[in-house]
Structure 1
Amino acid sequence: MPSGKVRWFDAKRGFGFITSDDGEDVFLPASALPASVTTVRKGSKVEFSMVTGRKGPQALDVQLVGPTASIIRATRPEPDDMAAIVEDLIKLLDSAGGKLRRHHYPSEAESRKLAALLRAVADDFDVES
């Protein structure tokens, strides 16, 4: 049974591609996934049956092998780097807090920048199950 890794998968469009262990790109339709699975992550290891369709190889009866790959864990900053980021964020939040204590919101540009930074740091802390 061929195996490989999911190159990408778009649940909204209902398809994606697998890169087989021999380097071949294989079309992955949503209908080939197990009944309880609606999407797969990039990098997930899979085993599959394969047929040759009009446009090339197509996966059938896909089975997930092992744990699902975590993109967040793979791209997460080192703890020392994250500590510096958090310390800088605390300084920015302290500054915003001082303005709020004086009954003034930060400017719109400052607010947007702070909100974007908070979201980015939250994404780095987020852990997928």
Structure 2
Amino acid sequence: MKTGTVKHWNRQRGFGFIRTDQGEEFFAHATCLMLARDFLDVGEAVIFETEPSERGGERAINVELAG
């Protein structure tokens, strides 16, 4: 599991980006949230896993709030 902070979230489009403490950034889609809501707020601490993205690189999956 990786840990990070929500850098950006677009509620209308249902996606955003998570930045780890190491400076890595991962795309996250609302369908990958393990929450009772379909959005994240900027600044929230999260834990997540990654998987290869169709566009190259990796994306965040199984995203949960930390703590």
TM-score, normalised to structure 1's length?
A: 0.48
Give CA-to-partner distance per residue, 1:16-75, whole Å, 9 cap, x none. Answer: 000012111100111111241221110100000001212322000001014xxxxxxxxx
Partner of 1:72: none
Partner of 2:57: 56
Q: Quote the Cα distance in structure 2 between the aligned partners of 1:27 and 1:55.
A: 11
Structure with the higher fraction of residues in strand conformation: 2
The one-letter amino acid paired with 1:22 is Q
Alignment of 1:24-43 (within 5 A): 24-43=24-43
User: Would you say how many aligned residue pairs link Structure 1 and Structure 2?
Assistant: 66
TM-score, normalised to structure 2's length?
A: 0.87
Q: Quote the Cα distance in structure 2 between the aligned partners of 1:21 and 1:2.
A: 9
**Contact 1:25/1:57 (CA < 8 Å) preserved in 2?**
no
RCO comparison, higher one (Cα < 8 Å, 6+): 2
Partner of 2:44: 44
The one-letter amino acid paired with 1:21 is D
RMSD: 1.2
**Contact 1:9/1:42 (CA < 8 Å) preserved in 2?**
yes
- Structure 2 residue matching 1:31: 3-state secondary structure: helix
Structure with the higher fraction of residues in helix conformation: 1
Structure 2 unmatched runs, 5+: none
Structure 1 unmatched runs, 5+: 67-129
Question: Which structure has the greater CA radius of gyration?
Answer: 1
Q: Quote the Cα distance in structure 2 between the aligned partners of 1:49 and 1:35.
A: 14
Q: Quote the Cα distance in structure 1 between the aligned partners of 2:50 and 2:21.
A: 13
Identity of aligned residues (%): 36
Q: Structure 1 segments of 4 or more deviating over 4 A? A: none
